Amino acid sequence: MKSKGLFITGTGTEIGKTVIAGCLAATLKHSGMNVGVMKPICSGDNSDAKYLKHAAQVDDPLSLINPIYLKYPLAPSVSARIEEKEIVINDIDKALNTLSEKYDFLIVEGVGGIAVPIKDNFLVAHLIQRLQLPILIVADVGLGTINHTMLTVSFARAFNLNIVGIILNQLQPEKAGLAEQTNPQEIEKLTQIPVLGVVPYEQRLNSTKLDRSFMVDFFSQHVDVSKIEHIINIDF
């Protein structure tokens, strides 16, 4: 069965989830798809929701794209505790349902990594289960990523999540070394999950004035989106 969306998680925070989610949304939109975006929980600021909104060129209010906003740049459960605010998961369900009616496909960015606590006894992995979305894992391409990726994959499997692919991202403008060259194949072999591509460091992805056509060209050049077409209502 084709899905209504894809949940973008990662091996941690500041790993490239927003950039990859934005590029994917822009690319799907460019191919004619009616795609929406969502960042259910923002902690600290809502720049991720703004980036996604801009990348996907949608007109939804930020309060719908990002139904839960927390003040401190901390794990959601910790920020909520300090703020004395209750996180109501049903607010996420409602926003997702509203957006699902409007769009054919939703790109949903997680918060931090998959084991981050949202509430007591409720982790990002539980949220993914609840939303019933397949996941895409974003990981650094460099040294150390095999361990982080294996841990994320095994955690996702323990929750019976449907992992459709991994994207490796280069976070620093450094010349690719041996780890960068060997990691994609090694990760594919160890996890048995397709690595859809390696996204090089590119300053223009980091900009506040995003050039969407550049994003689409750049992303399409480095990521084989056709490998996830089975979950998307579009043929590449």
Residues annotated catalytic, as ranges: 39
Asked if 145 contacts 16 with a C-beta cutoff of 8 angstroms, the reply is: no
Structure tokens at 166: 């991994």
In angstroms, the Cα distances linking 75 to 40, 126, 170, 192 are: 13, 15, 24, 30
By a kind-dependent CB cut-off of 5 to 8 A, residue 36 interacts, out of Mg ion, ligand ADP, none, with: none
Burial tier of 104 (Cβ tally within 10 Å: 0-12, 13-18, 19+): middle
Q: Is 74 in the site for ligand ADP (CB under 6 A)?
A: no
Q: Is 18 in the site for Mg ion (CB under 5 A)?
A: yes
Q: Which residue stretch of 46-54, 149-157, 168-176, 179-187 sits at the interface with Mg ion (rule: CB under 5 A)? A: 46-54
Structure tokens at 150: 């294996």
Shortest CB 138 distance to Mg ion, Å: 9
What track of x and - describes contact with ligand ADP for positions 193 through 232 (by CB under 6 A)? ------x-xxx-xx--------------------------
Quote the CA–CA distance of 118 and 16 in Å, as a whole number. 20
Quote the CA–CA distance of 201 and 7 in Å, as a whole number. 23
| 17 or 53: CB nearest ligand ADP | 17
| 18 or 27: CB nearest ligand ADP | 18
Site for ligand ADP in 10-49 (CB under 6 A): 10, 13-19, 48
Shortest CB 65 distance to Mg ion, Å: 13
CA atoms within 13 Å, Cβ hemisphere of 163: 27
By a kind-dependent CB cut-off of 5 to 8 A, residue 169 interacts, out of ligand ADP, Mg ion, none, with: ligand ADP
Q: Please identify which residue in the block is written with the tokens 């927390």.
A: 70
Which residues are near Mg ion by CB under 5 A?
Answer: 17-18, 48
